[in-house]
Amino acid sequence: MSEVKIQNKTKGEKVVLAYSGGLDTTAIIPWLKETFGYEVICCCVDVGQGKELDGLSERAKLSGASKLYIEDVTDDFCENYMMPCIQANAVYENKYLLGTSMARPVIAKKLVEVARKEGAKAICHGATGKGNDQIRFELSIKALAPDLDIIAPWRMTDVWTFQSREDEYNYVKSKGIPLEFDAENSYSRDCNIMHLSHEGLELEDPAAAPNYDHVLLLSVTPEKAPDQETDVCIDWEEGVPVALNGKKMSVKEILLALNKLGGENGIGIIDIVENRVVGMKSRGVYETPGGTILMEAHRQLEELILDRQTMEFKSFVATKFAECVYEGKWYDPLREALEAFVTSTQKYVTGQTKLKLYKGNIIKNGTTSPYSLYNESLASFTTGDLYDHHDASGFITLFGLPEKVRAMKLLEVKNKTLEK
């Protein structure tokens, strides 16, 4: 829906705001009320933000919200959004594990549920007109509730007059709304149980090194990690982690524990310049300690179990899966079809992965599976019952036949040319 149509709405209609308690969404509450006369219902979807939820109720009330929902979807997020990405080995541009991207569709789903419950006419988000999140939120909302209006203040430049975070900060302070940060010392952050992203300040200059002492909240740098290894053992059933170091746990519990262990050992810190969907490059520092460990452990197990052709095709699927998630197309038929393929490959991804964490490194420490295709008799240098060395001669002849025929033809042409 267009912003023009939204401006013509009557006063008193309900709008559900995707509320984080941060600067952008805190400023949007009084702005929506003053500009359009909306009744603002805040919905904070808990995907593992932790301490970010502290004080939200008071801040939302002081900002003018009529109601605040805090909806915990952490288990749903871990099991039905994060795990499909890990099972797919979905990584965007070889580095980004999609921590923010994978959270947007589950947040959008809950926003739609609250909007339906409250009889709201629109959903509002605080994503800027330059970022990816506007796409992710809006594509998900359109897929789930095409009849709802979408309000994106940062794109409404005729009525949204703020030009910077400092403008927002001053506006919020003028309303007497308490904030736990100031405009000059505030990275733009997104946090969930999977990861924590940081953008802004010195990170806007790719020539500047990150001030890691100032940036990092979940982790220490590898240099500051302990001078000793940390052992980790993960049990898997059909591509899902079910136990950590011998203790049965839910996916959420395992990720929380790995976040702590990974953070202490400097695991999963990346400094990335990525290509946004809207066409520009952006630079950020991401912390993904537990997710990085799970992704590597899962790959380690698949190495033993999946055959060559499946692994080859799955690597292509991983790239497309990551693109779909990054571009906000979670509820797109292609992503759903790709997940169906990935799920079929996980039937036998069962076993145990052992790792050592050491100063930013994840070191393989042994992998076992009842479905392992690794056959010691075949792989060893001794001759086993299943392999006859003489068979390799015929195989190589046939496998290399195209190359040999081509070389013979080139030699024939060359000789004819020399004869002339």
Active site residue: 24, 149, 190, 235, which one? Answer: 24
Residue 360 phi, psi dihedral angles, 5° rounding:
85, -5
d(CA 183, CA 162): 13
Asked whether the beta carbons of 35 and 159 are under 8 A apart, the reply is yes
Asked whether the beta carbons of 304 and 243 are under 8 A apart, the reply is no
d(CA 200, CA 299): 33
**Catalytic residue check, 188:** yes
d(CA 239, CA 1): 40
d(CA 141, CA 139): 6
Asked whether the beta carbons of 17 and 51 are under 8 A apart, the reply is no
Active site residue: 20, 46, 101, 133, which one? Answer: 133
Active site residue: 46, 63, 101, 104, which one? Answer: 104
Q: Name the H helices within 209-288.
A: 212-215, 251-264
d(CA 261, CA 258): 5
Active site residue: 20, 63, 101, 188, which one? Answer: 188
If you compute the radius of gyration of the chain from its CA atoms, what whole number of angstroms results? 26
The CB-side HSE value for 270 (13 A sphere, CA atoms) comes to: 22
**Catalytic residue check, 133:** yes
- One-letter amino acid at 388 equals D
Asked whether the beta carbons of 194 and 97 are under 8 A apart, the reply is yes
Listed residue (15, 49, 46, 34) closest to 125, CA to CA = 15
Catalytic positions are 24, 104, 133, 188
